[in-house]
Structure 1
Amino acid sequence: MTFASSVRLFQTLVMSFHSAIVIETVEEERVRTLINKAINELQMAVFEWSVSQGLTRSQGNSQHRWTNEYAPPGTQKPQALDQTFEPVDALKHIAELPFQAIYWLKDLGPHLKDDDVVRRQLREVIQQFAQNRSTLVITGHSITLPPDIAQDVVYFDLKLPEPDELYRAISEVVRSLKGRISVEIQPDGIDELVQAMRGMTLQQARKVIAFAALDDGKLTADDVKRVLQRKVQVLHEDGLLDYVPPEMNPAQLGGFNGLKQWLQRARVGFGAQAKAFNLPTPRGILIVGIQGCGKSLAAKTIAREWQMPLLKLDAGRLYDKFIGESEKNFRRAVTLAETMSPAILWIDEIEKSMGQSDSDADGGLSRRLFGYFLTWLQEKSGDVFVVATANDLSRIPPELLRKGRFDEIFFVDLPDEAERAAILQIHLVRRKQDPQRFELAALVQATDGFSGAEIEQVIITSLYRAIYEQRPVDTELIINEVKSTVPLSISRREDLHALRIMAQERFVSVK
């Protein structure tokens, strides 16, 4: 939804007697722009309240300025109405004002938790406004309303800035820095900058562009990399998604030829021809199998091969001690993923966050998250390709394994000879070792029954030992490390056998 569409939707809500609108956001600048654009046609006054500023009458935007009769002559900053700093006093004053207006209440949510009077006064104002077309707009980072109030409000989804807003943000920064920087970027470079900033707030976008331009006195195509680096930090600090742009994704996958062929076919689903035929974009895949055999690496490789950003959803960050917050976190995460589409959303070990539990210790939270995930997977609007991985099939709900939930379900077994040879070469080269110096056939034979992660660890420990003994690493040293390692294929032989039997009947091999 574009920002212009958001303005039209907001106007419709106001005109249809929605007396309270909740917007969960920290971008107060965009809320102010939304309201100011809406009142150009609605011809309504606007009041703003915060606990630090009290209740003031807004000046509106440049095309629709209101006269503030409460401010002394010559005063630029709007003056607060008397005795309106406390929430209950502000709400009482609002109820007495003879205006059809929009009343913007900032960070009111925390005041509703422990104050019965504030809650009651808010409810009465909402009921009063339902008759006269005035509207309360309540904003904040995360707003939890009492049930008796929640049923009378509507939640307005103000998504993160769209490309047109980000383009304007770049233009504003360039104008503000005129004379201090030179602009040496072509139009296609601007498009890349805009794409790199998707998923940021307007304030974050302005700051990162200004920093990139001022650092060397010019705005160039090279600044895209700086924006991406800052974006990685911003999303990590937000705490819900880890972000890896294609330029920073070095993943290499040995084997998995069956999966690679399937992905080559699926990729056309994101193209113009598929859209011309009204074909839905691919939903995603579920990869199940043995630990350490490349499931996570497959997710990274898909993002690199498709040249899409990789967004890792860390399930542990979703959970919150407050009721309802975990579900909100998940909605925020998938909304962010859609904003940054086309993208790969990687949900690692999905059974740990949305799997079946032997008890109700989490109050049914896992089941609720699972239900929301299924609904979103079926109805998602953005070009987000989901790669979910799982180790423990016993904890995966049967509904997730049903055909049609994912485009395909793949099973990852232990690597065969050809795959082990590819894995050995990848990790030897990565550690600056020439594969030609080793008896690769002997190493392939020795690592029979080893997973890819176990092979990598053998190479690492062999190099550590070579450094300690002040000798070059060779085939014999690696084979000795192999012999001292007990792989999962032996320590968990029974589990592996049961998993293979199930996979033969239900899943597609990645080979």
Structure 2
Amino acid sequence: MPMKEKMSDSLLRYIDAGRPLIYINHFDFETVDRMLAEAFPKATIAEYCDADGWVDFKTKQPHGSTPYTLPEFLMLFNNDQLYQDRKEYLVVLKEIHDSIGDKQVYSLLQSIARRKFMRGDSKGYNVTVLIVDSKLVIPPELEKLITMVELRPPQEEEIRELLNGIASENLLTIDDDSMTELVMAFSGLSVFEIKQIANLALATDGEISRHSKKLILSEKKQAIQKSGLLELIEPGELEIGGLENLKEYLQNNKAVFNNPGIAASHGIDMPAGVMIVGMPGCGKSLTAKCIAKEFGVPLLRLDIGRLMGKYVGESEENLRKAIRVAEATTPCILWIDEIEKAFAGLGSGGEVTTRLFGQFLTWMQEKKSAIYVVATANDISNLPPEFLRRGRFDEIFQVRFPNIKEREAIFKIQLEKRNGKRLPDGVDPHALAAMLKDQDNYSGADIESIVKEAMKRAFVDGQRKVTQQDLQEIIRNTKSSYQSQKEKLDKMLEKLNSLGVKPASR
């Protein structure tokens, strides 16, 4: 069922139940107006916004020559005359987040709500206040009186209908293959945003086609940057040495993730995500970046610490906003780094963290959007078991210190990356990997550091190319990170062994 019908049904149900104050937290006022006009054709709709005051709902022109303040406007609907009126009034308040905390304003809203609650005795008072605002601000005095209604983004069929309508208006058609790709690319955006981007595509390219996807992604990047809650990561040129089990698993998931319609026709669900746990410096973060590059979708990093606010409910609202931004960027990878630190407050009095954790779990369990969640962690032994059960993540992999074959691959990748995509003359990655003893547990980050230091020394010594001897000398004089943190990392290894998690390496 189309989005606007669902929302209309919710509004009708709440209004019939006598809910006095309804809050729609969204910026797409055009869609809300259209939905209200269609759902309530017989109601008298009065509109007020902080910028223009009282305006005509249909024309948006000022109502009369005398300006009204918000309290004066609300007083018109908080009076005894409406008891005998028997008309249905919808009072639409837009962008009043700077005014709603004023005592006179919220007191008048409380009074309207009380009159509505008493309408069984009042014989005719039928006023419902709808607050439509891009920013969610609810004074404590109104919390129990307000009902939230969510404006969901358009579904697949509605996006198709919208794009076909725009194309038809411009005497164009969109072929089936392009339409399929465009529907996925526009997924998560509002009607307003889809129209704006489609019109920009027409102005830029003279058409709406699969080539418009870059433009759509560019617009989505702006939304990410403006939110301030998610970080857009550019993966760049990346390659992983080893982790063959994980690579094979991700290749299988890529086939499903990039072809959701075909996969669904075969009864296959959209992949939920993967958790990668293990030793620091062994490629967990690199893997998250490589997944985004391989899948060909944006990589968004969520830092739970950024969500924490100083007001009651602010942190939870920030998480809802971050999820909305991610869903508007679909398909995408949502990366949560060091997730065990994010939820460290669980069970120790961290009420906000506990609420965020529950909210995030619910979203992961119920999400239908094309968001592939990648969580990385050094230690998951203290995470609650419900976070690790099937349904949250499709699989959990453990990343250990690289074996000799993987060390050789990492040396090769790091050397070629810094030498025009070819090995320096006379350098043998296998011999270098063999110099690193298994018991010393050199990480991928350690190997990268060795290569960088050897190349720097060769440059300082006459700007020459790095040699096998340079690398061997650095290895002999370099301790692994494990050796300097042996006690701490041994405990992590012991916990990792006890988890029975699938290894990422073969």
1:196-236 deviation digits (Å, cap 9, x = unpaired): 33344444444444444434656554332233233223312
Secondary structure of the corresponding residue to residue 252 of structure 1: coil
Deviates more, 1:85-94 or 1:192-201: 192-201
Distance change in 2, residues 1:463/1:162 (3 Å): farther
Spell out, residue by residue over 1:11-40, the C-alpha distance to the aligned partner (whole angstroms, 9 max, x if none): 333333322211111222222122122224
Distance 1:450 1:83, change over 3 A: farther
Which of 463, 484, 491 is the aligned partner of 1:491? 484
**Alignment pair present for 1:419 and 2:406:** yes
Q: Which residue of 1 aligns with 2:63?
A: 80
Whole-Å separation in 2 of the counterparts to 1:258 and 1:195: 29
Structure 1 match to 2:504: 510
What is the rounded CA distance, in whole Å, between the counterparts of 2:68 and 2:361 in structure 1? 45
Residues 211 and 454 (structure 1 numbering): CA distance in 2 closer, same or farther, change over 3 Å? farther
Structure-to-structure mapping, 1:23-38, within 5 angstroms = 23-38=24-39
CA distance in 2, matches of 1:436, 1:470: 14
Partner of residue 375, structure 1: 362
Rate the CA distance shift 1:257–1:374 in 2: closer, same or farther, 3 A.
Answer: same
Question: Contact conserved, 1:53 with 1:85, CA < 8 A, in 2?
Answer: no
In structure 2, the partner of 1:100 is: 88
Pairwise mapping of residues 38-437 of structure 1 onto structure 2 (< 5 A)? 38-40=39-41, 43-59=42-58, 78-80=61-63, 85-96=68-79, 98=85, 99-113=87-101, 115-130=102-117, 131=119, 132-164=125-157, 166-167=159-160, 186-215=175-204, 221-243=210-232, 250-263=237-250, 275=264, 281-338=270-327, 340-356=329-345, 364-393=351-380, 396-397=383-384, 399-401=386-388, 405-431=392-418, 432-435=420-423, 437=425
Could you tell me which runs of 5 or more consecutive residues in structure 1 were left unpaired when the two chains were aligned: 60-75
Note the C-alpha offset of 1:129.
3.2
Q: Aligned match of 2:444 in 452, 476, 501?
A: 452
Query: Counterparts of 1:304 and 1:139 in 2: how far apart (Å)?
Result: 39
Cα–Cα, structure 1 residues 92 and 327, in superposed 2: closer, same or farther, change >3 Å? same
1:191 Cα shift?
3.7
1:23 corresponds to which letter in structure 2?
A: I
Calculate percent identity across the aligned residue pairs: 31
Task: Measure, in 1, the Cα distance between the counterparts of 2:186 and 2:265.
Answer: 28
TM-superposed CA distance for 1:93, in Å, is: 0.9
State the alpha-carbon separation in 2 of the partners of residues 183 and 474 from structure 1: 61
Structure 1 residues 159 and 286: CA distance shift in structure 2, 3 A? same
Indicate the SS of the match to 1:94: coil
Supply the distance in 1 between the matched residues of 2:312 and 2:474 (Cα, whole angstroms): 50
Mapped to 2, the partners of 1:493 and 1:450 lie a distance apart of: 12
| SS of structure 2 residue aligned to 1:500 | helix
Q: Is the contact between residue 212 and residue 223 of structure 1 (CA under 8 Å) also seen in structure 2?
A: yes
Counterpart-to-counterpart distance in 1, 2:182 and 2:325: 18
Give, in whole Å, the separation in 1 of the partners of 2:161 and 2:173: 18
SS at match of 2:18: coil
Query: Match for 1:91: what amino acid?
Result: L
Change (3 A) 1:227 1:314: same
- Point out the more displaced range, 441-450 or 27-36: 441-450
- Matched residue of 1:504: which SS? helix
User: In the alignment, is residue 2 of structure 1 matched against residue 17 of structure 2?
Assistant: no
> Aligned residue pairs: how many?
484
In the alignment, the residues of structure 2 paired with residue 408 and residue 281 of structure 1 have an alpha-carbon distance, to the nearest angstrom, of 14
Provide the rounded CA distance (Å) in 1 between the counterparts of 2:220 and 2:173. Answer: 22
Amino acid in the other structure paired with 1:54 = G
* Structure 1: distance between partners of 2:343 and 2:173: 48
Stretch moving more, 271-280 or 199-208: 271-280
Secondary structure of 1:109's match?
Answer: coil
In structure 1, C-alpha distance between the alignment counterparts of 2:194 and 2:392, rounded to whole Å: 36
SS in 2 for 1:321: coil
Q: Distance in 2 between matches of 1:382 and 1:494?
A: 43
Task: Tell me whether 495-504 or 313-322 shows the greater mean CA deviation.
Answer: 313-322
* Aligned mates of 1:201, 1:380 — CA distance in 2: 18
TM-aligned CA deviation for residue 3 of structure 1? 2.0
TM norm structure 1: 0.82
Distance 1:228 1:464, change over 3 A: farther
8 Å Cα contact 1:24-1:157 kept in structure 2: yes
Distance apart, 1:268 and its partner CA: 7.6
**Partner letter of residue 285 of structure 1?**
V
- Following superposition, the deviation at residue 137 of structure 1 comes to 0.9
Q: Secondary structure at the match of 2:345?
A: coil
Letter paired with 2:15: V
Deviation per CA, 1:230-283: give whole Å up to 9, x if none.
3223312222234569xx765432221222344456668766687568776544
Secondary structure of the structure 1 residue equivalent to 2:8: helix
Q: CA deviation at 1:169?
A: 5.9
Q: Deviation of residue 104 (structure 1)?
A: 0.8
1:92 Cα deviation from its structure 2 partner: 0.9
Residue pair 2:3, 2:153 contacting (<8 A) in 1 also: no
Q: Look up the match of 1:62.
A: none
* Partner Cα distance (1:109, 1:334) in 2: 22
Instruction: Please report the RMSD computed on the Cα atoms of aligned residues, expressed in angstroms.
Output: 3.4
| Compared CA separation, residues 269 and 323, structure 1 to 2 (3 A) | same
Paired AA for residue 510 in structure 1: A
Deviation at 1:494, TM superposition (A): 1.4
Does the aligned pair in 1 maintain the 2:379–2:492 contact within 8 Å?
no
Structure 2 Cα separation of the partners of residues 453 and 401 of structure 1 = 27
Q: Secondary structure at the match of 1:502?
A: helix
